Structure 1
Amino acid sequence: MKLLVLGGTHHVGRAVVEAALQRGDEVSTLNRGISRPPAPDVRALIADRTDTASVKTALGDGEWDAVIDTWIWAPRVVRDSARLLADRAGHYGYVSTRGVHRWPWPPAADESAPLVEADPGSEDGSDYGAAKRGGELAVLESFGERALLARAGMILGPYEDVGRIPWWLRRLEKGGRVLAPGPAEARLQYIDVRDLADWLLRSADRGLGGAYTATGRPRAITTEDLLTTALEVTGFATELVWAPADLMRREGLTLGLELGLYLPDGTVPSGMHDANTGAVFSAGLTIRPLRNTLADTWAWLQTEGDPAPHPDAPSTDTWIDAATEQRVLAQL
């Protein structure tokens, strides 16, 4: 397959490029060329996505079987790229988010849950859900049934730059008693970035279109599964000390917010980790074991070091600082 990845240097985009090369696809990437050097055997097209003329020049007269786009800011940028590619690509896979659904998410929601209002021509990318929904509408405008909208849930695995598992692995590495956000039996739903990448590519092969909630099985693991498995694969001598949710709220801590255990106002959300994913599994999604996800994430961190934080990700310093952690541990 001739594949064009818009982005391709971070997180999902990087995973897509690596999976495509492993399959033997002919891969082009389009980005500014300043974050990471292109992978070997990739044709690197250099352009600023916000500059439509620059993108048009970089694309030249190229044609591709499929496009994968991971853009997260102003929808207008997606609209302009999709228009340029409408007659030169057979398939457009857009990495979206469950955040396009209107709050509150109903329990066991599927792809038919209500969506936020959005404008595909908007220059505003400050509202993540609205920006992604605008991107969806922009892709649909040019590609229609040839568009695949992958509404991802919590994405884990190597290359993560949003402060979830890398933060936890570094904290566990320090050893000692570690404050863990209770309850330990809280259920989580997630997807490994490489499983998402593989599914996007297989879907492009088939020309699959439509919207899919692209995450793993509902309530697949517990918070305790996540953290104890992290300890097992790393071998750290660390003791997890589980803090009741009401204590965390009284102390004003945000630890646990990164895993979607509660919302910024302290309420426990419905529908966060129990999305109905029947459609995406019927469409061929496969999921690797949690142990593999965590072990490979740790191996990546050891090899490459901590990633530069995503510009839109919250500061990981907000989860908890050492002094606050020790104060709360003393109460337990």
Structure 2
Amino acid sequence: MKLLMLGGTEFVGRAITEDALSRGWDVTVFHRGHHAPPPGTSALHGDRTAPGGLEALAEGEWDLVVDTWGGAPTAVRDSARLLAGRVGRYVYISSRSVYSYPAPAGLAEDGPLVEGSPDAEATAYAEDKRGGELAALDAFGDRALLLRAGLILGPYENVGRLPWWLNRIARGGPFLAPGRPDLPLQYIDVRDLARFSLDAAEAGLGGAYNTISPVGHTTMGGLLAACAAATGSDAEPRWTDAAVLEKAGVEPWVELPVWVPEGEMHDFMFGGDVTKALTAGLVCRPVEETAADTWTWLQTLGGVAPHRADRPMKGISAEREAELLGL
């Protein structure tokens, strides 16, 4: 198989590239040159946001292309149109954010969607991802595979969610644990997303798939316990009621990564129906493996994970946490 990876040097793109290489595939990585792609790939350089930025893709044929783009849909539109006659299938890594909010728990792929346009410049994340979906569909039709991922964790994470929890728990002592320990979570390990992306494309699948673990694959307590086991820490979770955190002005998802309190947002983030993907072969590894492998990767970086400049820093400050714990 010949894969053209648009991106391929960070987080999701890198995991997909490495999975393809492990299969013995011929992988070409198209990127801006800011980060080195995995060894064993061929590299083409260009900036999708610049005039003439796709010139390096003017020639060549591939069995499939994988695109993780999350900005202006016009970048997906232009890439897909350029490649439609020379690529077998187009895999677009989308997001469950494309569903209209609020979305009830149990929502499947046929749920209501936000408005989007393939011809739009960057607006908001959900609308941009929907525009990207439409761009892929316009150019590739039923040869387009739309993978609507949810929360993505694992090695190479450059958003700062799981790395923050690992580093905080490794530091030891009592720590602020939000809500209740049995609160169900739904996420996907980036390597499971990568494997399903390529398996599904190779099988000729098309259309939309919610690509995330089953509901309750782990819990908030399970995730934090996995972090403690991975780091060898005896840190003590101090479970704090969501109402107390709200009154104190603690920002869910940002100050306490991964966590959102029960209600509309929790249903939207952690309640998607994944029957279709599971039937198609999606397999999700245990949270303990995700935490342990992410910690091992972090140690190769001295504990400091890379961070995307377009995303806010995650995690509550040590001073504010101590104040809330009464320390």
- Structure 2 length normalisation: TM-score? 0.95
Partner of 1:69: 67
The separation in 1 between residues aligned to 2:119 and 2:144, in whole angstroms, is: 18
Partner of 2:232: 235
Deviations 1:232-264 (A, max 9, x none): 12101211111111110011012555314249x
Instruction: Return the offset for 1:134.
Output: 0.3
Instruction: Return the offset for 1:209.
Output: 0.4
Q: 1:2 to 1:267 in 2, by over 3 A?
A: closer
Moved more, 251-260 or 180-189: 251-260
Partner of 1:244: 241
2:18 aligned with 1:18:
yes
Instruction: Return the offset for 1:38.
Output: 2.1
- Structure 1 length normalisation: TM-score? 0.94
2:76 aligned with 1:82:
no
Partner of 1:312: 310
Partner of 2:203: 206
Partner of 1:324: 320
Paired residue secondary structure (1:93):
strand
- 1:301 maps to which of 298, 302, 307: 298
Paired residue secondary structure (1:62):
coil
Percent identical among aligned pairs is: 47
Alignment: residue pair count: 324
Instruction: Return the offset for 1:202.
Output: 0.8
Instruction: Return the offset for 1:122.
Output: 0.8
Q: 1:27 to 1:268 in 2, by over 3 A?
A: closer
Paired residue secondary structure (2:269):
coil
Deviations 1:54-107 (A, max 9, x none): 21x211421000000000000000000000000010000000000000000112
RMSD: 1.5
Paired residue secondary structure (1:302):
helix
Partner of 1:142: 139
The separation in 2 between residues aligned to 1:215 and 1:165, in whole angstroms, is: 16
Partner of 1:195: 192
Partner of 1:42: 41
- 1:274 maps to which of 252, 271, 274: 271
Deviations 1:288-328 (A, max 9, x none): 11111110000000013423211332222xx3111111111
Deviations 1:132-175 (A, max 9, x none): 00000000000000000000011111011112100111111211
The separation in 1 between residues aligned to 2:208 and 2:12, in whole angstroms, is: 18
Letter in 1 for 2:74: R
Q: 1:200 to 1:222 in 2, by over 3 A?
A: same
Letter in 1 for 2:324: V
Letter in 2 for 1:11: F
- Would the aligned equivalents of 1:256 and 1:262 in 2 still touch at CA under 8 Å? no
In structure 2, stretches of 5+ residues that fail to align are none
In structure 1, stretches of 5+ residues that fail to align are none
Partner of 1:133: 130
Paired residue secondary structure (1:65):
strand
Partner of 2:153: 156
Instruction: Return the offset for 1:269.
Output: 3.5
Point out 4+ residue stretches in structure 1 off by more than 4 angstroms. none
Letter in 2 for 1:287: C
Paired residue secondary structure (1:276):
coil
The separation in 2 between residues aligned to 1:52 and 1:142, in whole angstroms, is: 20
Letter in 2 for 1:16: I
Letter in 1 for 2:76: V
Deviations 1:213-245 (A, max 9, x none): 000111221100000111012101211111111
- Would the aligned equivalents of 2:242 and 2:261 in 1 still touch at CA under 8 Å? no
